[in-house]
Amino acid sequence: MKKQLPLLLHLLLWLGLLGLSLWVHFGIDQLDLPLSWVAMDVAQTFAFHLALFYFNWFVLLRILAKGNVLGYALAVAATLALFAAVRSPIEVFQITQEASITPKIAEQIAKHPSMLDYKTHMIQLGVMGLMNIFLCSALKVTGDYLRTERRRQELELQHTTTELDLLKAQVNPHFLFNTLNNIYSLAYQNAPSTPDAILKLSLLLRYQLYETNTPVVPLARELEHVEHLLDLHRLRLTQPELLTLEVHGDVSGLSLPPMLLMPLVENMFKHGLSTAPMQVQVCTQGGTLTFTTRNRIKTLGGTSENYGGIGLQNLKRRLELLYPGAHTFSCRQEDQDFIAELTLTRLS
């Protein structure tokens, strides 16, 4: 349909001009010319204007496209001079023949002898040809601009989609690396919870491999994935009750991009003190989701460890691409606790 649209627009343009020409002949002039004469006049007028229009479209505008403005102006001037020079004798001959059969035209010629003046006709035809050129150029330039803009938007969308896929792909190995380290620690200690940890990991990998290939997933399914991740980390904690997940509000009917919340949870484990409370809180109200993590900051040599890394950088970039103007993300420190809060609006 898109390929047929320019052809349809051209067809509508020429049908409109044809209607205008017929209206001029029958509605305004009212010269009582034979229909064959009117048809001949309209046909020769359209033939010349079609030739001028598409000569400019396919030939002259290529000069302008190369940035040669002066060359285009000179080519247009030469084309218009030829157009007027060829058409003016035809116009004078046609008026002379029409005057021989229509008294009204003969009377007008007697009152206005300039009707048979070649110079006058060349000026008039030159002006009409210039209007033709302007219309053609405007349509061509506008069409080219719209096509270029559409291609730019398509490329931008393709680039954004590719970038999102790469960012999501970076999340998965990062998460897997952290989880395998946890399982290694359990296996090294001959912990009886190692098989459970492997089972939890298999559930997480199943989710990532088979359920995250869509733009969005149900929020309830994503939170189930978060719960599996928390269970996996509880296996290595001496006080698993310190790790909590609270959900407030109705999560049904809401969706979000898969693996979007994982960087916050992972960074909480990476930088949080395992002997202090680590809290994850989910609040929903209408179409707004607020996801908050809170943890005690580890200290190295008496100074707090920097919070962040590739996970959070990826999260910020994904938020910019997925929720422009529809999200807030903040990190703050309260005493020895670090709080990260993500708010998403307009969730479907």
| Residue 99 covered by a domain | yes
Which domain CATH number covers 254?
A: 3.30.565.10
Residue 127 lies in a domain: yes
Residue 180 belongs to some domain of the structure: no
Per-residue CA distances from 131 to 125, 128, 135, 137, 244 (Å): 10, 5, 6, 10, 75
| Same domain (yes/no): 121, 42 | yes
The CA-based angle 263-200-191, given to 5 degrees, is 110
User: Which percentage of the chain shows pLDDT scores above 90?
Assistant: 24
**How far apart are alpha carbons 230 and 124 in whole angstroms?**
83
- Do residues 31 and 104 lie in contact, with contact meaning Cβ atoms separated by under 8 Å? yes
In a domain, 183, yes or no: no
> Mapping DSSP to helix (H, G, I), strand (E, B) and coil, where does residue 93 land?
helix
Q: Which of 97-101, 282-286, 335-339 has the lowest mean pLDDT?
A: 97-101
pLDDT value for 132: 87
Q: Domain check: are 141 and 198 in the same one?
A: no
Pair (23, 130) in one structural domain: yes
Find the radius of gyration of the CA atoms of the chain: 38
225 burial class (0-12, 13-18, 19+ CB within 10 angstroms)?
Answer: buried
Residue 128 lies in a domain: yes
Asked if 118 and 89 touch (Cβ cutoff 8 Å), the reply is yes
- How much is the average pLDDT of 129-156? 84
Q: What pLDDT digit, counting tens, does each position of 30-41 carry?
A: 556 566 666 777
The pLDDT score that the predictor gives to residue 307 is: 52
Domain encompassing residue 277? 191-344
Looking at the structure, do residues 338 and 197 belong to the same domain, yes or no? Answer: yes
Residues 107 and 204 grouped into a single domain: no
Answer with the one of 152, 172, 201 that is the final residue of a domain: 152
pLDDT band at 90 (very low <50, low <70, confident <90, very high): confident
The pLDDT, as a whole number, for residue 37 is: 67
The domain total for the chain is 2
Q: Determine the pLDDT at residue 303.
A: 44
Residue 295: predicted pLDDT: 93
Whether residues 303 and 204 share a domain: the answer is yes
β-strand pairing of 278-285 with 243-248: parallel
Rounded to two decimals, the pTM is 0.55
Whether residue 45 sits in one domain with residue 102: yes
Residues 6+ apart with CB under 8 A from 116: 92, 95, 96, 109
Average pLDDT, the chain: 81
- Are the C-beta atoms of 257 and 215 separated by less than 8 Å? yes
- Dihedral sign, Cα of residue 24, residue 28, residue 29, residue 35: positive
Answer with the one of 136, 152, 168 that is the final residue of a domain.
Answer: 152
Whether 222 and 307 map to the same domain: the answer is: yes
* pLDDT > 80? residue 236: no
* pLDDT of 98 above 80: no
Mean pLDDT of 278-292: 95
Same domain, 200 and 79: no
Distance CA 249, CA 268 (A): 23
- Most confidently modeled of 154-163, 192-201, 219-228? 219-228
23 part of a folded domain: yes
pLDDT greater than 70 at residue 52 = yes
Residue 33 is predicted with a pLDDT of 59
Alpha-carbon span 38 to 9, nearest angstrom: 26
Q: Which residue has the higher pLDDT, 250 or 45?
A: 250
Domain membership of residue 173 (yes or no) is no
Please, which pLDDT band fits residue 302 given cuts at 50, 70 and 90?
A: very low
User: Same structural domain for residues 141 and 265?
Assistant: no
213 lies in the same domain as 69:
no
d(CA 208, CA 212): 5
Please report the DSSP string for 159-225 in residue order. Answer: HHHHHHHHHHHHHHHHHHHHHHHHHHHHHHTT-TTHHHHHHHHHHHHHHHHHSSSSS-EEHHHHHHH
Do 141 and 205 lie in a common domain? no
The answer as to whether 169 is a domain residue is no
C-beta separation of 217 from 258 below 8 A: yes
Bin 205: left if φ > 0, else alpha if -120 < ψ < 50, else beta.
Answer: alpha
d(CA 82, CA 136): 18
| E strands in the chain | 217-218, 243-248, 255-256, 278-285, 288-296, 299-300, 303-304, 327-334, 337-344
pLDDT at 158 exceeding the cut of 70: no
- Find the range with the poorest average confidence among 227-231, 306-310, 332-336: 306-310
d(CA 95, CA 110): 12
